[in-house]
Amino acid sequence: MLTASSLSIGYKTPLASNLDLELRPAELACLIGPNGVGKSTLLRTLAGMEKPLAGAVWLDGGNLHLMPSLELAKRLAVVLTGRVDAGNLSAWALVSLGRHPYTDWLGRLTVRDEAAIERAMRLTDTLVFAERPIHELSDGERQRVMIARALAQILPDSPLPPGEGLGGRAKAQLPISNYQPSNVPTFQRSNVLLLDEPTAFLDLPRRVDMLQLLKRLARETGCAILLSTHDLDLALRIADRLWLLASSGNLTTGIPEELALNGAVARLFQSEGVDFDHASGAFKVHQTVCGPISLHGDKDGVTAAWTWRALERIGYEVHDNGIRRPVHVDVMDPGRWRLTTPHGQSEHATLESLLAALQQ
């Protein structure tokens, strides 16, 4: 388990202080916060790439910053922000770089290394383009390859696959394993994966895929996974735990629904001038300029919900508590709306015509 106590992060002046945190095995945690608040610095500090200004980070009870770097590399891997461009490397070769802590001085891969590479690529569904050069891959595919690389670095050895598929040369090398057992028994060792904005370059479906993949990986491999992201919506839906880092340097952690309910999420973004709606779990992005309107109709929830959003978008304050306002919309059937105003009634077959009537 990765923990930190009274941790201060930053360069010379602290960005955040007195952080107490805990990253649990098999859980997906999302680190959320405004830009410049120190998300990357926190990740880099937890990864051992920056020294803490105060406090300490502990991995399985050992001080992470004092651990031998090869020992740490076998337990903690990172996927950094930004595109990776490594030229002629194939996806397979890139993933194989993750075996660096295990190979001999020439970097030769043993059967165990190849099995780990294959397992990491299978887990991330990247085996299909193993032989393609990474500059030919899409952003999403490349990001998955980077995750496979990180997994190949930290996943504990699984039992070797049965003899088939291993060449004669590979078999001959079998007894020579460069895997050095750590002094912590394998079953107690945590494996930690830290990702800095892994969804930054991706479109929406890819982002959903990415988070679902990471969640599945956490479950299947027992890795503790922490990623920073700007996708609050997705994080609220998929993460096992949210870490909210505010500009004040305060870190609040908890399960997403709890943090939404107790207003922690709203507070985080209020200071940034954005309102978060507890009820819908989404940001309020529209200002009301047109006064109240009442909405009725529950033939199917979907039509009413989208009508609500349309009305909000053009600036109405929408109510559906049963009290009729002077301006009122009834959803009759999907695809039929009735608008009642002090000037009379009209029926509409599309949302566009409904909004046009309201805007007159």
Partner 1 sequence: MPRPPLRPWLFFALLLLLLLAFALSLTLGSVEIPLEQVAHILLGGEPDKASWADILFKFRLPKAITAVLVGAALSTAGLQMQTLFRNPLADPFILGVSSGASLGVALVILGIGAGGALTFIAGLGVFGDFTLAIAASLGAGMVLGAVLLLSRRVQNTLTLLVVGLMFGYLASAVVTLLIYFSQPERVLVFSLWTAGSFGGVTWSQMRVFAPAALLGLLLGFVMMKPLNALLLGDDYARSLGLNVRRARFWIIVSASLLAGVSTAFCGPIWFIGVAVPHVARSLLNSADHRALLPASMLMGAAFALIADVIAQSPGSQHTLPLNVVMSLFGVPIILWVILRQKQLRQSFAS
| Chain contacts with partner 1 (rule: CB under 8 A) | 47, 49, 69-74, 76-78, 80, 84-90, 92-94, 97-98, 100-101, 103, 105-107, 114, 117-118, 127, 130-131, 133, 135, 153, 165
Identify which of residues 78 and 318 has a Cβ nearer to partner 1 in the complex.
78
- DSSP helix/strand/coil, 308: helix
Minimum distance from residue 75 beta carbon to partner 1 (Å): 10
The minimum distance between CB 173 and partner 1, in angstroms, equals 13
To partner 1, the closest distance from the beta carbon of 74 in angstroms equals 8
- Please, which residue, 228 or 253, has the CB nearer to partner 1? 228
Alpha helices (runs of H) in the chain, residue ranges in sequence order: 39-46, 69-73, 91-96, 111-123, 139-154, 168-172, 204-221, 232-238, 256-261, 264-270, 301-313, 351-359
Taking residue 85's Cβ as centre, other Cβ atoms within 10 Å add up to 9
Cβ at position 78, least distance to partner 1 in Å: 5
Nearest residue (CB) to partner 1, 120 versus 329: 120
Query: Which of 165, 335 has the CB closer to partner 1?
Result: 165
CB of 34 or CB of 133, closer to partner 1: 133
For the chain, the farthest-separated pair of C-alpha atoms sits apart, in whole angstroms, at: 89
**CA end-to-end span of the chain, whole Å?**
61
Strand partners, 228: 31, 196
For partner 1, the closer CB: 88 or 360: 88
Query: Phi and psi of 159, rounded to 5°?
Result: -55, 145
Nearer to partner 1, 165 or 301 (CB): 165
Query: What one-letter code names the amino acid at 141?
Result: E
Minimum distance between the CB of residue 253 and partner 1, rounded to whole angstroms?
24
Give residues with Cβ within 8 angstroms of 40, minimum separation 6.
Answer: 81, 196, 228
Q: What are phi and psi of 183, to 5 degrees?
A: -80, -10
The DSSP symbol for 290 reads S
Min. distance of Cβ 89 from partner 1 in angstroms? 5
Contacts of 225 (CB under 8 A, 6+ apart): 27, 28, 29, 192, 193, 194, 195, 214, 215, 217, 218
Q: How far is the CB of 222 from partner 1 (least distance, A)?
A: 20
Torsion of CA 10, 16, 21, 23, to 10 degrees: -50
Q: At what angle do helices 204-221 and 111-123 cross, to 10 degrees?
A: 130
CB of 80 to partner 1, least distance (A): 6
Q: Contact 330/296 with Cβ under 8 angstroms?
A: yes
Burial class (CB in 10 A: 0-12, 13-18, 19+), 58: middle
Nearer of residues 97 and 261 to partner 1, judged by Cβ: 97
Cβ proximity to partner 1: between 179 and 283 the closer is 179
Q: What letter does residue 94 receive in the DSSP assignment?
A: H
Tokens (6 digits) for 281: 């779990």
Q: Which is nearer to partner 1, 105 or 187 (CB)?
A: 105
Quick one: tokens of 138?
């899409």
Cβ 87 to partner 1, closest distance in Å?
4
Question: In whole angstroms, how close is the CB of 132 to partner 1 at the nearest point?
Answer: 10
